[in-house]
Amino acid sequence: METGENNWKNNCVLAKLVYVYEGIEPESPKSKRHKLVNPHYFSGVYDGADNAELWDEVYAYLDSHYDLKKVKKIYLNADGGTWIQSGKKRIAGITSVLDEFHLQKYLLKMTSHLKDSADDARKELCDAVKSGTKADFQSVVGQLKVCAETEATEKRIEESGAYILSNWTAAKIRLKDRETVKGCSAEGHVSHVLSSRMSSRPMGWSRTGVDKMAHLRAYYWNGGDMLELVRQQERELPVAAGTENEVLSCESMLRWERHRHNKLGKYIESINHSVSTEVKKYAWFHAHIWGL
């Protein structure tokens, strides 16, 4: 399980992303690229108490798709954020792992000023995390601070060291269990699932708009039929006088889709409607509305 987030700083809207998968495998027998095995995505704007709602959704999916009594371990690859750590309180038995991106990011920030000696310094830091104690790690950090030529560099080393110490156990697991703990692709998935549609080009979003689009992006990446959602909206539009122009909410459409999925069986794919007469309409829908 991995997490990420896409932040629109101008209005402090944070779309969160969690995805569950069973492992990784090559895209093809000769390919060096890998793909996730059976990924499932959750996304939306969740703040404060709403974090519990997000993690409850994740747990409900795990509980309905797996026999959790037989699952040996669930790894949570993340950067150690507070909202991410709250997931451990909602789902028992999670093992936190500091993702490779952030671990390497802070190791580089601590050693970049050393130039030719940077690789040796990073190895010493990694050895301290992997096999040593916090005191061993702090000793190496102290040596690096002595070599700092400016106050800014010294501050950067101190802050980076504090970050790793605050995620000590998660960083240690990342370095010790290389064979069982897979690399984290959260940054890439945030880019593909959220950023490519919502922030790669200048756009303005309301909080509601971010939340709805994030949910729809997760739905699409989970294999959902976007056109079927629109069809269902048309079928369920109110027909009472004066309500002809009312539109079902995103949540209503997704709730209907989940109900339809449960009715057919959680392991059975919904039968796709034929759209042979609507190919142009389908293409236009994707290109001009969803940008997928």
Q: Give backbone dihedrals phi and psi of 81, rounded to 5 degrees, phi first.
A: -60, 155
Q: Is the pTM higher than 0.75?
A: no
What secondary structure, in 3-state letters, does 1-25 show?
A: CEEEEEEECCCCEEEEEEEECCCEE
What local confidence, expressed as pLDDT, does residue 263 receive? Answer: 53
Q: Is the pLDDT of residue 292 over 50?
A: no
Query: Bigger pLDDT: 111 or 180?
Result: 111
What local confidence, expressed as pLDDT, does residue 12 receive? Answer: 59
Q: List C-alpha distances in Å: 148 to 30, 112, 161, 181.
A: 46, 10, 14, 34
Task: Convert the pLDDT of each residue in 98-135 to its tens digit.
Answer: 888 889 999 999 998 888 889 999 999 999 999 999 99
Nearest to 167 by CA among 96, 256, 271: 96
Q: Using the 8-state DSSP alphabet, how is residue 184 labeled?
A: P
Q: How many CB atoms lie within 10 A of CB 292?
A: 13
